[in-house]
């Protein structure tokens, strides 16, 4: 499921509060000073002030650039997925690669069939060391998606400009900030512009800092930096220090980017991205491989043929270069968008109307759009940058408007929330983006922050731990059984009783044969994640119990540090007179709904035992659908529709129940 890397060294990464200018504005938490106030407080705050003064860079510009790269975290000197170090993300890919091993992408791991449809089995996944597929080199070139050989080496440049040793720039946050300031000042000189005290005059230097391959990507980065400057931000970093950027109204001189001389090409008309992000068309191939085989996706006519109900968030478990190579392999699998860590650049591979093979469940694939984010679920210090979070949020808001998708955790799923379609597939389903993806921060950026929707004794709860302070123990980040370094997390641990020493609840689907759940970073069997909603089963002291996989699952929820928010909504219970609620891994039609020329797909409940008197939160009401797509020519593809289902939050993963098997009611 993951790439093995050196031990992670960071401590809790906090949730940030600044949003892009085009997204709803939130107040910076803990804002300590008015606009224009002098720096002060923590050692890191002072380091930003000193570096800004030394190199003649406005402090707001230096703080804004750093926030977009790292949210001011140092990550204990560990490199990001794109080889960046420290708060300023100074890049040294050669050193970073020497400290890690290669990865073939998360679809190359585990037993999951990414297509998730037994009507057409997939060929074996491409090996990690497979050569570039034939024809991939002929795909339209986009200078914004560099290979590691083209990655900028800004750490070496910062060393030359400051006289500081590369090792010090990697290890010391203060030195790293000084190196970033020197790079910005050098870029300003190269543009022939003075070291002005006005942040508006530094747009060109900020755009240059991205080291992007084209003007669109450079300007998208600079626009986000100035959005942060205008909004302000304040947070406690992973070193325990509060850093504050007071909001400052700035209208940058965007014409300063002209002097960068970067190529500017018209956006490909096939791209389906908002104008506020850098986005290129890097197509996944639709190829007839012979013998009835084809790859690596299905052509469709969504939303005319089927509604798009979900957006699925993945991480790549691979570098940017590997990710693009694999999605252009006709014998591999596919997804709609890839997002690059260092600057949030987006590559689109499939039209939204087409069906990608990414989620491991054909019902979900046929009704979803898949986003792959460059990163590693078990290595939070190969970090998801703020630039990538913000670009992803802009893209998801655009897609949600286009396809009328609600912005909630019933519709915005992690790959780890997608249910296995059958009992046999459940254990092998993937677990990305994992417990270190900051769901609460992501929904802030989406303009749909997690909030209470009921009084203190509401019948439902929304899981909402404070990411920075919530550091449950995980293991397996650096090999089986090895403890993961403490780190902020979106996940709460679930026990069989209101006691930290009580066993974890058991997921019989992910642990067949009686195996127990574990604190493993890839074990989702006893875990609930931020934004997910559950019905309250009991309360006792500082503990709350929820209905989860047919049992009471207890999580610590103390009054002074709540890990949940009260909520209300719709739930289902068993039909009158029923003993259990049958649950399904996909909402397929009943046999009578199929025309004669379409083979009937089995409708077999999963083996979870759900007592009829328990309550489960409803995410949406949907009709049963099966997209019959087993031929290269899409003219013969068909959509079969049947009875009604409800999507519910069964455990960490969603599931479906037949409307006739349940009663629907308000919590």
SS3 of 271, please? coil
Residue 207 reports pLDDT greater than 90: yes
Residue 246 CA to residue 233 CA, distance in Å, equals: 7
Residue-wise pLDDT tens digits, 16-70: 323 233 333 333 333 333 333 333 445 999 999 999 999 999 999 999 999 999 9
Residue 376 CA to residue 82 CA, distance in Å, equals: 11
CATH annotation of 43-95+149-260: 1.10.530
What mean pLDDT do residues 534-553 have?
A: 98
pLDDT tier, 125 (very low <50, low <70, confident <90, very high otherwise): low
Query: What tokens appear for 490 in the block?
Result: 């979106």
Q: Range with the lowest mean pLDDT among 31-40, 411-420, 569-578, 617-626?
A: 31-40
Of 73, 52, 47, 79, which Cα lies nearest the Cα of 154?
79
Half-sphere exposure of 181 (CA within 13 A, CB side): 25
More confident residue, 426 or 81: 426
Residue spans of the domains in the chain: they are 43-95+149-260, 268-435, 574-666
Q: What is the predicted pLDDT for the residue at 455?
A: 94
Q: What is the predicted pLDDT for the residue at 30?
A: 31
pLDDT tier, 3 (very low <50, low <70, confident <90, very high otherwise): very low
What mean pLDDT do residues 340-358 have?
A: 96
How many residues belong to the chain? 667
SS3 of 555, please? strand
Fold of 268-435: Lysozyme-like (3.40.80)
Enter the DSSP assignment of 22: T
Strands 533-540 and 346-348: unpaired
Residue 356 CA to residue 292 CA, distance in Å, equals: 18
Are 113 and 122 a contacting pair, CB within 8 Å?
yes
Q: What are phi and psi of 397, to 5 degrees?
A: -60, -40
pLDDT tier, 123 (very low <50, low <70, confident <90, very high otherwise): low
Are 95 and 77 a contacting pair, CB within 8 Å?
no
Q: What is the DSSP string of 600-665?
A: PPP----S---BTT--EEEEEEEEEEEEE--SSSGGG-EEEEEEEEEEEE-SSSEEEEEGGGEEEE
Which residues 6+ apart lie within 8 Å of 654 measured at CB?
410, 413, 417, 418, 419, 619, 647, 648
Of 209, 226, 227, which Cα lies nearest the Cα of 218?
209
Residue 466 CA to residue 441 CA, distance in Å, equals: 10
Residue 186 CA to residue 449 CA, distance in Å, equals: 39
Residue-wise pLDDT tens digits, 647-656: 999 999 999 9
Q: Which runs of consecutive H residues, i.e. helices, occur in 446-582? A: none
Strands 346-348 and 279-281: parallel
Q: What is the DSSP string of 60-114?
A: HHHHHHHHHHHTT--GGG---TTSEETTTTEE-HHHHHHTS-----GGGSSS--S
Strands 310-315 and 368-373: parallel
Residue 111 CA to residue 213 CA, distance in Å, equals: 37
The 10 Å Cβ neighbour count of residue 156 is: 16
Q: What is the predicted pLDDT for the residue at 104?
A: 55
Q: Range with the lowest mean pLDDT among 357-361, 453-457, 535-539?
A: 453-457
User: What number of helices (H) and strands (E) belong to the chain?
Assistant: 12, 24
Of 553, 593, 616, 612, which Cα lies nearest the Cα of 419?
616
Q: What is the predicted pLDDT for the residue at 13?
A: 31
Q: Whole-number mean pLDDT of the chain?
A: 88
Q: What is the DSSP string of 193-224?
A: ----S-GGGGHHHHHHHT--SSHHHHHHHHHH
């Amino acid at each position: 499921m993951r790439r093995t890397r050196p031990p992670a060294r960071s401590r809790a990464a906090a949730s940030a509060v600044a949003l892009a200018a085009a997204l709803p504005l939130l107040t910076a938490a803990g804002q300590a000073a008015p606009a224009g106030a002098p720096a002060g407080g923590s050692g890191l705050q002072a380091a930003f002030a000193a570096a800004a003064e030394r190199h003649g860079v406005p402090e707001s510009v230096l703080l804004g650039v750093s926030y977009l790269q790292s949210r001011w975290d140092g990550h204990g000197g560990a490199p990001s997925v794109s080889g960046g170090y420290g708060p300023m993300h100074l890049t040294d890919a050669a050193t970073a690669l020497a400290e890690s091993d290669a990865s073939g992408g998360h679809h190359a791991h585990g037993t999951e069939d990414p297509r998730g449809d037994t009507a057409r089995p997939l060929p074996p996944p491409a090996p990690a060391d497979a050569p570039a597929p034939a024809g991939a080199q002929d795909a339209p070139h986009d200078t914004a998606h560099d290979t590691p050989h083209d990655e900028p080496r800004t750490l070496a440049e910062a060393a030359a400009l400051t006289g500081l040793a590369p090792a010090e720039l990697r290890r010391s946050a203060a030195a790293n900030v000084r190196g970033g300031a020197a790079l910005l000042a050098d870029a300003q000189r190269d543009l022939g512009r003075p070291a002005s005290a006005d942040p508006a005059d530094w747009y060109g230097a900020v755009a240059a800092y991205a080291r992007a391959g084209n003007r669109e990507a450079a300007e998208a980065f600079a626009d986000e930096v100035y959005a942060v400057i205008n909004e302000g931000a304040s947070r406690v970093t992973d070193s325990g220090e509060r850093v504050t950027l007071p909001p400052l109204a700035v209208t940058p001189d965007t014409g300063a980017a002209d002097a960068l001389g970067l190529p500017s090409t018209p956006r490909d008309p096939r791209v389906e991205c908002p104008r506020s992000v850098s986005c290129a068309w890097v197509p996944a191939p639709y190829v007839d491989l012979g013998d009835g085989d084809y790859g690596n996706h299905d052509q469709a006519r969504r939303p005319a043929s089927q509604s798009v109900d979900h957006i699925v968030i993945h991480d790549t478990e691979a570098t940017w270069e590997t990710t693009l190579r694999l999605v252009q392999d006709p014998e591999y699998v596919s997804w709609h968008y890839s997002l690059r860590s260092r600057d949030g650049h987006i590559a689109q591979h499939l039209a939204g109307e087409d069906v990608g093979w990414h989620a491991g469940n054909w019902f979900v694939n046929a009704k979803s759009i898949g986003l792959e984010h460059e990163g590693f679920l078990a290595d939070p210090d190969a970090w998801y940058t703020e630039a990538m979070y913000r670009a992803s949020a802009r893209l998801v808001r655009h897609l949600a408007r286009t396809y009328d998708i609600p912005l909630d955790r019933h519709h915005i799923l992690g790959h780890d929330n997608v249910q296995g379609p059958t009992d046999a597939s459940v254990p092998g389903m993937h677990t990305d983006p994992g417990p270190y993806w900051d769901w609460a921060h992501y929904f802030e950026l989406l303009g749909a922050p997690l909030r209470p929707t009921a009084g203190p004794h509401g019948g439902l709860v929304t899981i909402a731990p404070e990411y920075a302070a919530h550091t449950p123990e995980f293991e397996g980040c650096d090999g089986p059984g090895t403890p993961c370094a403490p780190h902020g997390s979106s996940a709460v641990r679930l026990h069989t009783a209101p006691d930290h020493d009580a066993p974890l609840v058991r997921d019989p689907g992910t642990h067949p044969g009686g195996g127990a759940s574990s604190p493993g970073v890839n074990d989702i069997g006893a875990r609930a994640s931020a934004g997910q909603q559950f019905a309250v089963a009991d309360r006792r002291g500082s503990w709350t119990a929820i209905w989860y996989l047919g049992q009471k699952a207890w999580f610590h929820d103390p009054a002074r540090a709540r890990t949940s928010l009260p909520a209300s909504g719709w739930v289902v219970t068993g039909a009158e007179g029923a003993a259990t609620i049958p649950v399904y891994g996909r909402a397929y039609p009943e046999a009578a709904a199929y025309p004669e020329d379409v083979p009937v797909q089995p409708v077999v409940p999963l083996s979870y035992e759900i007592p009829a008197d328990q309550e489960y939160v409803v995410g949406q009401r949907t009709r049963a659908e099966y997209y019959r797509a087993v031929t290269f020519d899409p003219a013969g593809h068909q959509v079969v529709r049947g009875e009604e289902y409800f999507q519910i939050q069964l455990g960490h993963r969603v599931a479906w129940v037949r409307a006739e098997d349940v009663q629907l009611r308000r919590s």
